[in-house]
Amino acid sequence: MREIYTYCEEDTQKLGEEIGKMAWSGMIILLKGDLGTGKTVLTRGIARGLGIEEPITSPTYTLMHQYYGRLSLYHFDIYRLSQPEELYDLDYEEFFYGQGVTVVEWPERMEDLGPDEYLSITIEKKLDHGRDERIIRIIPMGEIYEKLEKDLINI
Ligand SMILES: Nc1ncnc2c1ncn2[C@@H]1O[C@H](COP(=O)(O)OP(=O)(O)O)[C@@H](O)[C@H]1O
Ligand SMILES: [Mg+2]
């Protein structure tokens, strides 16, 4: 596990950018954390690292937005999913197991339909003496994600 602390939006975005630069076709990133912790901010960085210039907005109602860069980004925010089976209406497997990079906010909503291998990132907000601190924990789930975790050591 890697634990990274950030104290402003820009630093969280920068971390996302580093991950985006290292991302590969078929990579899946599951982003956990309460509302307002910085999941979308991190996703903006990932998009930037993928060379996507279009602005990233939360797919609150459509549940998924697709962007085109060095690799495509499939950005899911499934907060509003009422049951996991609704994922089939989105043809989610085409994206998860496709050519681009998948990022999912609120992956808990997938329950058993989630992937077996992925990069787990959890963001926790701590209000430490007025400082807007974030604890970002990165856990590789599966062998291919372990190398990335090691490469992040320099951040
Ligand atoms: N260290 C930090 N990292 C990320 N966001 C931060 C940080 N400190 C403050 N913020 C603020 O927290 C909010 C995070 O929003 P957002 O990324 O939309 O959250 P989420 O997608 O998790 O609901 C933004 O308003 C951002 O400016
Ligand atoms: Mg969000």
Q: What CATH code is carried by the domain that includes residue 120?
A: 3.40.50.300
Which residue minimizes the CA distance to atom 25 of ligand 1? 36
Query: Do 50 and 73 contact (CB within 8 A), yes or no?
Result: yes
Q: How many domains does the chain have?
A: 1
Whole-model pTM over 0.85: yes
> What's the CA gap between 25 and 9, in Å, rounded?
27
> What's the CA gap between 91 and 107, in Å, rounded?
16
Alpha carbon of 24 to those of 52, 73, 80: distances in Å?
Answer: 14, 11, 28
What residues flank ligand 1, with Cβ below 6 Å?
Answer: 6-9, 11-12, 33, 35-41, 105, 132, 134
Tens digit of each residue's pLDDT, the chain (155 residues): 999 999 999 999 999 999 999 999 999 999 999 999 999 999 999 999 999 999 999 998 999 999 999 999 999 999 999 999 999 999 999 999 999 999 999 999 999 999 999 999 999 998 877 788 999 999 999 999 998 888 886 66
Q: Which domain holds residue 48?
A: 2-154
Any idea which residue has 């590789």 for tokens?
Answer: 140
